[in-house]
Homo-oligomer: A and B are copies of this chain.
Amino acid sequence: MEYKVIEGGGITSPKGFTAGAVYVGVKSRKSQKPDVAVLYSETEASCAAVFTTNKFCAAPVILDREILKNGKARAIVINSGNANAATGTQGIEDARTVEREAEKLLGVGENEVFVCSTGVIGQKLPVEKVLEGVRQIIPAKLDKANGSDAAYAIMTTDTVRKESAYELELSSGTIRIGAMAKGSGMIHPNMATTLAYVTTDAKCDSADLQKMLHNAIDKSFNMCTVDGDTSTNDTMILLANGASGVEVKTEEDKAALAGLIEHICIDMARRIASDGEGATHLIVVESYGLPTEHDARLVAKAIAGSTLFKAAVFGRDANWGRIMAAAGYSGADVDPTKADCIIKSSAGEVQVMKDGFGTDFSEELAKAVLTEHDITVIVDFHSGDGKAVAYGCDLTYEYVKINGDYRT
């Protein structure tokens, strides 16, 4: 499938979406970074969403699960700086207050606005500040040009905005898809402190969207790990407003849209792993030749998540013993005696293991390979057709510094 990149595009690239963001002081005064964002669909959008599996899910997650039952939505309000998690019934009331205010200002129906929060756990949401932000944004700041502002406003420890957009020709016309995401720490399958939003101007019913989103997340966010901690706030929302006039009805078009959603979700997952807290490397792990896809997923995730291997990559050390140890404890059905392992990057590739044994590889080349930012680890167990890809990052001093200091 040929996906045409929309240069500089993002969440408002599909037709009929606008966004806006402001700073109101939910984040600390010293940062002065925008902390409230609104994403708006000019017409009613079908929606799909996936939320954290953490039992201590945040108040907005509880609210959004209700809103999702609607199957349609008009807007999403997001604040950073405070997660509104472990805040009890008060937290849910606060989220509801934000939702109602946005609905009133937008003149849309009840249960048509999602609310999301990310930031510190366990402090009451400064709801007046968030409301102030909502009032500043709606309607004055809602604009097609402000998608990137919204991507900036949802960041916490992220160092870069994560957004992209693509265009795709379907049999019945051209559709666009856009995404923005945040997430840097507390990132691990299944779903993470990830907030991620995908918009499309295709028309598609919400049951189909929900199925497509689940499949896409299994190949992307659920294969992404930064630190093994699954957050309380993970939320991924997909809105399809049909503003392109293109209805996705045939199986072929549905498959194409599903592929596009998967593509943009993988794009976001890679960006999140790449911007993992303190990370200096993106680590992509491809596993092949496992008895089942499930085994392959376990192996890829275990390697991408191995604290020891992550530290070795930071040290530019091709310590393949740790790769194999991780495969061995992954829970997958693996046969060590058949394993091949290659580490590669734009600087070249080095086969560190063949038929279950370490090779006499060039340490110099390996170091050169590991000097690049984007590293790919390929393992093949020659025991079946199961394959998978996981996305992770290295473990650095900076990660420890960020997370030793976060709250204080």
Contacts and interface: CB of A to CB of B under 8 A. Distances in A.
Interface of A: 53-57, 83, 85-88, 120-123, 185-186, 188, 227-232, 305-308, 311-312, 314-317, 319-322, 324-329, 334-337, 353, 356-358, 363, 395-397, 399-408
Contacts of A305: 228
Copies, count: 2
A220 B325 CA distance: 22
Q: Would you list the 6 A-B pairs with minimal beta carbon distance, nearest first?
A: A315-B404, A121-B321, A56-B328, A311-B403, A230-B329, A54-B328
A312 B401 CA distance: 9
A329 B237 CA distance: 21
Contacts of A186: 308, 322, 325
B329 A403 contact: no
Contact of A88 (B228, B335, B337): B337
B400 A311 contact: yes
Contacts of A88: 337, 356-357
B407 A312 contact: yes
A387 B26 CA distance: 38
A121 to B, nearest CB: 3
Given A55-B334, A230-B325, A322-B121, A185 B308 contact: yes
A317 B401 CA distance: 12
Contacts of A363: 408
Contact of A325 (B54, B328, B335, B402): B54
Contacts of A358: 86, 122-123
B329 A86 contact: no
> Which of A53, A188, A399 counts the most B-chain CB atoms under 10 A from its CB?
A399
Contact of A229 (B185, B227, B308): B308
Given A122-B321, A232-B321, 7 more contacts: A55-B334, A228-B228, A228-B306, A229-B329, A231-B325, A311-B402, A315-B404
